[in-house]
């Protein structure tokens, strides 16, 4: 049978191959269908079992070649002793979704760029649909077409060009900007105009990348299952110190697509602009890192630009990032670079590596101690930073956990107290707070008029009743430049009728008194009521019973401070008033204070009775006693009872 097959091949050796309706067949064997296969030998390659016109690719790195065989012919040769494996091709496809633009700043590329790292001389093979060589925003170093086995690797789909732009769109003030604009990109076309291809052509492309000494392989595609030839080639590539990056897949399932599932491939998941996992991003234990993958704008065919979604978009972010790492650390192995990749991440899921985010979102690897080759201080040590994203969180870590206490506004500039590897330390009232480096770009100067380096805070604080805007009025207009989070206590620098001065992120700011509640100190003796009819409670029964109401705008003495309450004198017992709706006061008018003893006699209110102050010569209501209250008398007049209430002399009609 073996010799018979060789004879058939010999007869057909010189017949031409043609294509019809997507099916490959021999010219004088009508409708004879062929499959692309890769034949892997144990050691020595035997070319005699397949005629030369059927061999489509010779591998340089493994003992194998690709060929065209019929189903019957595959069966005929599968038991030949020298053959280790006959691998039939699978369909490989890509998927993407249109959306909106974002991503470059979130992973801290401006900071890395400030250290003169642009991916210079790093060779990246983009295994995809090819690249638009004529695009004005791309500089393509070379490539190959593995579908037709020629040098025409131009993109007829758009996917490969989009991937290429994310990696290396030029820094030329037009279009978009790639992560590593000076990297050398190569278009290895094995996917057709429909974004489909075969594992045979993919294997050929990987082999070419190894032989041509690529530094990084970008594989923004995937398929289910696995492929032994591809796995063998990926293992070979990794042993050659090549970094390999693959897309996790866009099916939203708990299974990583191949080849990203291979242990030597860095599997990449996609996040959205809120740093949440994209709903389409596959998950699984092989996920190593995540990157922006929702609504990414990049280059496209015919010299255009397009916005797309997918782990296909997140993958080139990581490939470009790795090019920057390799430029920074040219002598490190791919294992060492991979370790650095995992360490320079923002942990977005459960603590440590997880199946959704891996180690987390890739972040700038430049630290404050590092300098560029010239020995000059790198820009991350500059004294100010500009906020790159909307509503950037400010964190307080004094409790040992990261607690959001406020937000910075996009495009605003703030002074830096101290630099850390992944954080900026800023002044936040009376203490230091932190923002992530990826949310800010270091700058050397500013035009601000409200820098607060010499402004001191007082020992008085307020609590934000809602997310409270902070305004800059140095221009004569109120310009919001930050937000204090609801429930956050903040130190006061100055007090005005309707405004409170603060030191917010190193700048003088103002918040409206309508948005805050001023905090009390235990030594405060007086408080002023800022809301209508604040209740006074009696708790002697074990329950809170309303016994009266305080009047808005009036001031009262207090006996003691509790966490959320004022204790006041209320006849011969204590009443309690919630602090909400009150603020500290410096004193009570001396004429209002009551120091007379009680007579031992009482009255009981027949209705809700108003208590008046007459120290000004006019009757001014300052408290209401609730119906049914028994209250001690200081002195009796014809029409009035004099009483002592909350440290003040008051009068109630008899």
pLDDT at 378: 37
CA triple 409-410-413, angle to 5 deg: 80
Question: Which of the following is catalytic: 95, 99, 128, 309?
Answer: 128
pLDDT at 326: 92
Question: What average pLDDT does range 444-462 have in this prediction?
Answer: 75
pLDDT at 455: 59
Candidate from 21-35, 162-176, 321-335 with smallest mean pLDDT: 21-35
**Would 411 be classed as within a structural domain?**
yes
**What is the pLDDT confidence band of residue 453, given thresholds at 50, 70 and 90?**
low
Question: Is the same domain home to 13 and 123?
Answer: no
Residue 595 has pLDDT above 80, yes or no: no
pLDDT at 3: 33
Q: How far from the centroid of its chain's Cα atoms is residue 260's Cα? A: 22
Give percent above pLDDT 90 in the chain: 38
Structure tokens at 382: 């500059």
Residue 562 has pLDDT above 90, yes or no: no
Nearest to 493 by CA among 463, 461, 521: 461
Question: Which of the following is catalytic: 132, 155, 159, 557?
Answer: 159
Token match 């990246």: residue? 124
Residue 148 has pLDDT above 50, yes or no: yes
Distances (CA, A) of 211 to 41, 214, 480: 19, 8, 58
Question: What average pLDDT does range 552-558 have in this prediction?
Answer: 91
What digits encode the pLDDT tens for the residues 638-653?
A: 999 999 888 888 999 9
Range of the domain at 535: 526-653
**Would 429 be classed as within a structural domain?**
no
pLDDT at 207: 93
Residue 584 has pLDDT above 60, yes or no: yes
> CA-to-CA distance for 113 and 441, rounded, in angstroms?
11
Question: Is the same domain home to 288 and 391?
Answer: no
Structure tokens at 337: 């670079």
**CATH code at 513?**
2.30.30.40
More confidently predicted of 32 and 420:
420
Token match 């390799």: residue? 326
**CATH code at 137?**
3.40.50.200
What digits encode the pLDDT tens for the residues 370-425?
A: 423 323 333 446 788 999 888 999 998 887 778 899 999 998 999 988 877 678 88
**Would 451 be classed as within a structural domain?**
yes
Residue 22 has pLDDT above 60, yes or no: no
Angle, helices 311-328/334-343, rounded to nearest 10 degrees: 110
Residue 137 has pLDDT above 50, yes or no: yes
Catalytic site residue 608? no
Last residue within a domain, chosen from 517, 549, 584:
517
What digits encode the pLDDT tens for the residues 213-255?
A: 999 999 998 888 888 889 999 999 999 999 999 999 998 899 8
More confidently predicted of 13 and 483:
483
Question: Is the same domain home to 509 and 531?
Answer: no
Question: Is the same domain home to 227 and 111?
Answer: yes
Question: Which of the following is catalytic: 95, 99, 114, 312?
Answer: 312
pLDDT at 103: 56
632, β-bridge pairs: 602
Last residue within a domain, chosen from 460, 484, 517:
517
**Would 622 be classed as within a structural domain?**
yes
- Kindly write down the DSSP assignment for every residue of 515-573, as one continuous string: GEEEPPPTT--EEEE-SSSEEEEE-TTSS-EEEEEEPTT-EEE-SEE-SSEEEEEETTE
pLDDT at 241: 93
- Kindly write down the DSSP assignment for every residue of 271-336, as one continuous string: E-TTS-B-TT----TTEEEEEE-SSEEEEETTTEEEEEBSHHHHHHHHHHHHHHHHHH-TTS-HHH
Nearest to 461 by CA among 380, 410, 522, 415: 522
Question: Is the same domain home to 284 and 358?
Answer: yes
What digits encode the pLDDT tens for the residues 93-135?
A: 554 443 335 556 777 777 777 778 889 999 999 999 999 998 9
Residue 26 has pLDDT above 70, yes or no: no
Candidate from 169-178, 426-435, 540-549, 587-596 with smallest mean pLDDT: 587-596
> CA-to-CA distance for 451 and 464, rounded, in angstroms?
22
Catalytic site residue 312? yes
Last residue within a domain, chosen from 65, 88, 111:
88
The domain tally of the chain equals 4
Structure tokens at 121: 């001389």
> CA-to-CA distance for 339 and 348, rounded, in angstroms?
18
Question: Is the same domain home to 31 and 137?
Answer: no
- Kindly write down the DSSP assignment for every residue of 368-380, as one continuous string: TT-B-TT-PBPGG
Nearest to 64 by CA among 189, 206, 186: 206
Task: State the average pLDDT for the chain.
Answer: 83
Question: Is the same domain home to 110 and 172?
Answer: yes
> CA-to-CA distance for 128 and 161, rounded, in angstroms?
9
Nearest to 594 by CA among 556, 551, 545: 556
Q: Output phi, psi for 168, to 5 deg.
A: -145, 30
Within a 10 A sphere around the Cβ of 307, how many other Cβ atoms? Answer: 19
């Amino acid at each position: 049978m073996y010799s018979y097959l060789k004879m058939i091949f010999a007869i057909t050796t010189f017949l031409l191959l043609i294509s019809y309706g997507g099916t490959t067949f021999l010219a004088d064997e009508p409708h004879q269908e062929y499959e692309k296969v890769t034949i892997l030998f144990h050691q020595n390659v035997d070319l005699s079992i397949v005629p030369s016109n059927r061999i489509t690719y010779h591998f340089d790195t493994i003992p194998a070649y690709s060929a065209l065989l019929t189903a019957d012919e595959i069966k005929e040769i599968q038991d030949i002793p020298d053959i280790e494996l006959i691998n039939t091709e699978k369909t490989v496809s890509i998927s993407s979704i249109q959306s909106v633009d974002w991503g470059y700043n979130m992973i801290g590329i401006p900071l890395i760029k400030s250290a003169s790292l642009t991916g210079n001389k790093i060779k990246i093979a983009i295994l995809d649909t090819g690249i638009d060589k004529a695009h004005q925003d791309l500089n393509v170093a070379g490539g190959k077409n593995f579908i037709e086995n020629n040098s025409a690797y131009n993109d007829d789909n758009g996917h490969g060009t989009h991937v290429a732009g994310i990696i290396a769109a030029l820094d030329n003030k037009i279009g978009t900007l790639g992560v590593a604009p000076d990297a050398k990109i190569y278009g290895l076309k094995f996917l057709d105009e429909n974004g489909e291809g075969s594992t045979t052509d993919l294997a050929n492309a990987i082999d070419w990348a190894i032989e041509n000494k690529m530094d990084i392989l970008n594989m923004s595609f995937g398929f289910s299952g696995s492929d032994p030839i591809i796995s063998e080639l990926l293992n070979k590539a990794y042993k050659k110190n090549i970094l390999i990056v693959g897309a996790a897949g866009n099916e939203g399932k708990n299974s990583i697509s191949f080849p990203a599932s291979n242990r030597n491939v860095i599997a990449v998941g996609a996040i959205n602009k809120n740093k949440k996992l994209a709903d389409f991003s596959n998950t699984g234990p092989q996920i190593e890192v995540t990157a922006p993958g929702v609504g990414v704008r990049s280059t496209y065919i015919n010299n255009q630009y397009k916005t797309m979604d997918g782990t296909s978009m997140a993958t080139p972010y990581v490939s470009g990032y790795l090019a920057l790492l390799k430029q920074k650390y040219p002598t490190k192995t791919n294992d060492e670079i991979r370790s650095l990749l995992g360490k320079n991440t923002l942990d977005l899921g459960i603590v440590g590596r997880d199946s959704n985010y891996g180690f987390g979102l890739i972040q700038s690897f430049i630290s404050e101690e590092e300098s560029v080759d010239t020995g000059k201080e790198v820009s991350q040590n500059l004294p100010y930073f500009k906020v790159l994203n909307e509503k950037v969180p400010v964190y307080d870590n004094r409790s040992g956990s990261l607690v959001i206490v406020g937000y910075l506004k996009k495009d605003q500039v703030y002074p830096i107290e101290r630099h850390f590897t992944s954080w900026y330390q800023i002044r936040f009232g009376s203490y230091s707070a932190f923002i992530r480096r990826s949310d800010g770009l270091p700058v050397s100067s500013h035009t601000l008029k409200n820098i607060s380096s010499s402004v001191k805070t007082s020992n008085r604080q307020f609590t934000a009743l809602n997310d409270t805007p902070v305004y800059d009025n140095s221009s004569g207009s109120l310009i919001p430049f930050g937000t204090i989070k609801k429930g956050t206590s903040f130190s006061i620098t100055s007090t005005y009728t309707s405004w409170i001065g603060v030191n917010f992120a190193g700048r003088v700011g103002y918040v409206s008194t309508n948005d805050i509640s001023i905090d009390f100190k235990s030594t405060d003796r007086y408080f002023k009521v800022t809301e209508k009819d604040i209740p006074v409670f009696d708790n002697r029964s074990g329950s809170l019973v309303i016994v009266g109401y305080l009047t808005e705008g009036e001031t009262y003495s207090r006996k003691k401070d509790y966490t959320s309450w004022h204790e006041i004198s209320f006849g011969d017992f204590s009443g309690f008033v919630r602090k909400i709706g009150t603020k500290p006061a410096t004193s009570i008018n001396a004429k209002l204070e009551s120091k007379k003893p009680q007579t031992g006699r009482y009255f009981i209110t027949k209705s809700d009775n108003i208590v008046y102050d007459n120290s000004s010569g006019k009757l001014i209501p300052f408290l209401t006693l609730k119906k049914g209250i028994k209250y001690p008398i200081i002195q009796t007049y014809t029409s009035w009872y004099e009483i002592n209430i909350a440290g003040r002399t008051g009068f109630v009609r008899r």
